[in-house]
């Protein structure tokens, strides 16, 4: 069982990451503004199912790799360090002054299509799989028990946090988009804060002693 203090750190990191302006947030805000809250919520369920898909794939993948290859756990974790640093660099590098100029001209789609768009937006994004593969191992340790159980536990926590935050974003989409548009400095602050979190996670594992 992962210690509660580690779960708390993971939960806080997940909260910061879901608050990071990105494709999912922008899509949900745009869809909510163009087609209403119900469309935004349906799209959100598709996005969440996309998260679940990646979590399942990564969880079973990590378990298979760690049991099949000696020292694979250490190798994957240090590959994760490199990827987290890469994410931190891109977070600061990417432009974002117009990130919340949402498009209100999205055509109205049926519920099934809304769900599928949200789902495929995540499922077909290889960066999501790479992100989970680099993020989860920072909190998983073989001495805590089953790798698969730890992965599922972290996945459940991340999905719950993502759903709650994105649900609030959907029901207050207009205010969210307007606030970000009027306060572009927040995007810059958030980018540097997010980069600091990612770098901190990378440093934490890089200097952690193997047990």
Per-residue pLDDT, 106: 59
CB 117, CB 43: distance < 8 Å: yes
Whole-number percent of the chain with pLDDT over 90? 19
pLDDT tens track for 164-187: 999 998 988 867 766 766 777 776
Q: What is the DSSP letter of 23?
A: H
pLDDT tens track for 82-104: 766 876 787 677 655 455 555 55
Q: What is the DSSP letter of 2?
A: -
> Does the pLDDT of residue 144 top 50, yes or no?
yes
Residue 93's contacts (CB-CB under 8 Å, 6 or more residues apart) are none
- Determine the Cα–Cα distance for residues 161 and 167; give it in Å rounded to an integer: 10
SS (H, E, C) the chain: CCCHHHHHHHHHHHHHHHCCCCHHHHHHHHHHHHHCHHHHHHHHHHHHHHHHHHHHHHHHHHHHHHHHCCCHHHHHHHHHHHHHHHHHHHHHHCCCCCCCCCCCCCCCCCHHHHHHHHHHHHHCCHHHHHHHHHHHHHCCCHHHCCHHHHHHHHHHHHHHHHHHHHHHHHHCHHHHHHHHHHCHHHHHHHHHHHHHHHHHHHHHHHCCCCC
Tokens of 57: 């794939």
Per-residue pLDDT, 125: 66
Domain ranges of the chain: 4-139+146-206
Question: How confident is the model over 100-128, as a mean pLDDT?
Answer: 74
Most confident of 12-21, 77-86, 99-108, 160-169: 160-169
């Amino acid at each position: 069982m992962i210690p509660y203090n580690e779960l708390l750190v993971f939960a806080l990191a997940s909260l910061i990451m879901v608050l990071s302006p990105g494709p999912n947030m922008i899509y949900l805000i745009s869809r909510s503004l163009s087609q209403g809250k119900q469309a935004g919520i349906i799209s959100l369920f598709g996005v969440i199912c996309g998260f679940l898909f990646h979590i399942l794939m990564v969880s079973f993948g990590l378990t298979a790799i760690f049991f099949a290859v000696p020292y694979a756990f250490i190798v994957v974790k240090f590959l994760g360090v490199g990827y987290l640093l890469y994410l931190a660099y891109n977070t600061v590098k990417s432009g974002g002054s117009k990130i919340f100029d949402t498009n209100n001209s999205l055509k109205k789609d049926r519920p099934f299509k809304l769900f599928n768009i949200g789902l495929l937006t995540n499922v077909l994004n290889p960066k999501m799989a790479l992100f989970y593969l680099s993020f989860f191992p920072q909190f998983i340790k073989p001495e805590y028990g089953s790798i698969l159980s730890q992965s599922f536990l972290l996945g459940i926590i991340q999905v719950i946090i993502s759903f709650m935050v994105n649900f609030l974003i959907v029901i207050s989409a207009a205010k969210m988009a307007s606030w970000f548009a009027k306060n572009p400095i927040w995007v810059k602050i958030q980018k540097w804060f997010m980069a600091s979190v990612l770098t901190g996670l990378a440093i934490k594992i890089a200097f952690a002693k193997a047990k």
